[in-house]
């Protein structure tokens, strides 16, 4: 029952995330005007805006002009619901749940905006930092077992971002180009690093780099992309972070055992 409740909260928030994903890159307000059909501009009534269900009942078309809505709206809602439920199953209802759903909510926005536009908006990074600072303060007052100590969060802010700055400086020198790595990728690792702590940030970064490399090789192999084309890194950062939230400690232990043998 509580699982269903959390899923419902997830899809309702997912519905707002659609608005953010659609409007933030166009520098529109996410609150005003209220939702309208992008084709006929008709203002959508509450019945048109029930997450997932409206999409199914209206068969994905606007009730007023008949133009199709992208199935991605329903996908984003469903995905947000699933992410919330999975985090709940792993951590129960507590500070970790609040912290990780907060982070993942922002990262779902990052995933789709970076995929569409190859940018990570500053407003998302800043919202993440606000939550991160609250988490650091909370960790000082009320230590959460997920982190070794409060310093881990502060160091974390500079772990992933520091590494990416290093990579982009090396890349700039090696390729004599001024943009190897988007600054958005560097910036989003400030809040991610705080929420994960430095050790888990390294795991998330490793997964992101690994999955991005494998995908690039596959995409270039299938000739969908060539060596020169840019592939957004943000979606891989999001995937890496989510996997780390779920299995970071297990992956760390596995890596440790592999590297240093039994301990």
Q: Cβ distance 76 to 108 under 8 Å?
A: yes
Read off the tokens for 62: 């606007």
Q: Write down the least CB distance from residue 40 to Zn ion, Å.
A: 3
CA dihedral 55, 59, 65, 68 (to 10 degrees): 80
Of the candidate residues 13, 17, 62, 136, the single one contacting Zn ion (CB under 5 A): 62
Looking at 61-69, 70-78, 90-98, 138-146, which segment touches Zn ion (CB under 5 A)?
61-69
Of the candidate residues 2, 47, 56, 65, the single one contacting Zn ion (CB under 5 A): 65
Count residues near Zn ion (CB under 5 A): 6
Mark 28-47 with x for binding to Zn ion (rule: CB under 5 A) and - for no binding: ---------x-xx-------
How many CB atoms lie under 10 A from the CB of residue 38? Answer: 11
Three-state SS for 75?
Answer: helix
Query: Cα(49)–Cα(192) distance, rounded to whole angstroms?
Result: 31
Binding status of residue 238 toward Zn ion by CB under 5 A? no
Of the candidate residues 64, 97, 138, 163, the single one contacting Zn ion (CB under 5 A): 64
Q: Write down the least CB distance from residue 69 to Zn ion, Å.
A: 9
164: Cα within 13 Å, side-chain hemisphere: 28
Q: Which residues bind Zn ion (CB under 5 A)?
A: 37, 39-40, 62, 64-65
């Amino acid at each position: 029952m509580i699982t269903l409740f959390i899923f419902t909260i997830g899809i309702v928030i997912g519905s707002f995330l659609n608005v953010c994903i659609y409007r933030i890159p166009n520098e529109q307000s996410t609150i005003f005007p209220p939702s309208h059909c992008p084709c006929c501009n008709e203002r959508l009534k509450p019945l048109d805006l029930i997450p997932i269900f409206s999409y199914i009942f209206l068969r994905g078309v606007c009730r007023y002009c008949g133009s199709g809505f992208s199935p991605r709206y329903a996908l984003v809602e469903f995905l947000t619901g699933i992410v919330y439920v999975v985090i709940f199953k792993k951590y129960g209802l507590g500070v970790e749940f609040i912290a990780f759903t907060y982070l993942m909510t922002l990262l779902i926005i990052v995933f789709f905006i970076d995929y569409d536009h190859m940018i990570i908006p500053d407003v998302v990074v800043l919202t993440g930092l606000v939550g991160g600072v609250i988490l650091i303060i909370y960790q000082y007052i009320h230590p959460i077992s997920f982190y070794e100590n409060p310093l881990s969060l502060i160091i974390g802010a500079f772990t992933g971002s520091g590494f990416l700055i290093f990579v982009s400086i090396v890349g700039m020198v090696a390729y004599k180009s001024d943009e190897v790595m988007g600054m958005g990728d560097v910036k989003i690792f400030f809040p991610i690093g705080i929420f994960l702590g430095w050790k888990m940030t390294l795991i998330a970064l490793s997964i992101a780099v690994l999955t991005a490399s494998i995908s690039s090789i596959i995409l270039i192999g299938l000739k969908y992309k060539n060596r020169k084309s840019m592939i957004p890194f943000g979606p891989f950062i999001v995937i890496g972070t989510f996997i780390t939230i779920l299995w970071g400690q297990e992956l760390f232990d596995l890596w440790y055992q592999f590297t240093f043998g039994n301990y």
